[in-house]
């Protein structure tokens, strides 16, 4: 490896599986210290054991990003252990069974927004308190989706949150990127083989019809490590003039 992140400290939410685990592993291999954050203690332990059995490069914290107290604690733990935060990867997220507006319950709407959008907002707010006073600023990477670029790559709540996270990314870049040394960029993955797909257990008929119409059932399938490489680029100084960007990583699905 090339030590692209040597000396950097990163927080990765949703680190207990999938893209979060792969991002954490790649960051550690490139020299970063990583705070692994996830709601699932078993997943956290598996990630830590897999990528850092010695415990020299990672720490772990239980964090439900829908709870502000957990977010505040996650950031505090990182500062207490490492004294700084260079990179925040807002990766934790859920889907919504591709439910349309008509079939979206209040509970599902509120839960998806809390995890996919309000959580990243609060985590960003918390780390910016520290990043804006750091000499080297900071770097926020938000996991959006092609669902945030179009209308039929997810249900109503998921689509709304992923559009929202792109707007949040651009606002941080336009304010803290210009007047402080903080970068914010988003990744918009397409169909990635992760455990999140297994949570689509009651898909909406109309939502699936709209998804099928844009090739969703035959979209190219990517691997979590392919998204991790995009995150590494954005976290590294190699991308130091990229701010407020949305990088689509979908194997060409949305180019058709």
Give the catalytic positions in this structure. Answer: 158
**Per-residue CA distances from 130 to 18, 79, 216 (Å):** 28, 9, 40
Query: Parallel, antiparallel, or unpaired for β 191-192 and 221-222?
Result: parallel
The full length of the chain comes to 256
- Torsion sign (Cα): 32, 35, 38, 40: positive
Report the alpha-carbon distance of residue 170 to residue 164 in Å, rounded: 10
Within the chain, how many helices (H) and strands (E) appear? 8, 9
User: In 3-state terms, what secondary structure has residue 6?
Assistant: coil
Distance, CA of 121 to chain centre? 12
User: In 3-state terms, what secondary structure has residue 184?
Assistant: strand
- HSE-CB at 237 with a 13 A cutoff on CA atoms is 10
Report the alpha-carbon distance of residue 187 to residue 244 in Å, rounded: 11
User: In 3-state terms, what secondary structure has residue 23?
Assistant: helix
β-sheet bridge partners, residue 143: 187
């Amino acid at each position: 490896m090339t030590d692209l992140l040597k000396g950097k400290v990163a927080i990765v939410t949703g680190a207990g599986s999938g893209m979060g685990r792969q991002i954490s592993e790649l960051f550690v291999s490139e020299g970063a210290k990583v705070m692994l954050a996830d709601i699932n203690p078993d997943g956290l332990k598996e990630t830590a054991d897999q990528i850092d059995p010695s415990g020299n490069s990672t720490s772990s914290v239980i964090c439900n990003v829908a709870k502000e107290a957990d977010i505040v604690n996650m950031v505090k733990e990182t500062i207490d252990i490492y004294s700084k935060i260079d990179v925040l990867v807002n990766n934790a997220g859920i889907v919504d069974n591709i439910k349309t507006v008509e079939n979206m319950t209040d509970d599902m709407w509120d839960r998806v927004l809390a995890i996919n959008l309000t959580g990243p907002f609060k985590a960003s707010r918390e780390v910016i308190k520290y990043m804006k006073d750091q000499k080297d600023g900071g770097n926020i990477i938000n996991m959006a989706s092609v669902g945030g670029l179009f209308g039929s790559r997810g249900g109503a709540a998921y689509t709304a949150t992923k559009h929202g996270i792109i707007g949040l990314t651009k606002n941080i870049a336009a304010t803290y990127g210009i007047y402080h040394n903080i970068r914010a960029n988003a990744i918009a993955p397409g169909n990635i083989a992760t455990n999140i797909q297994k949570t689509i257990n009651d898909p909406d008929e109309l939502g699936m019809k709209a998804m099928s119409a844009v090739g969703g059932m035959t979209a190219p399938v990517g691997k979590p490590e392919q998204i991790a490489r995009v995150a590494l680029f954005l976290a590294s100084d190699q991308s130091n003039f990229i701010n407020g960007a949305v990088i689509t990583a979908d194997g060409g699905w949305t180019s058709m």
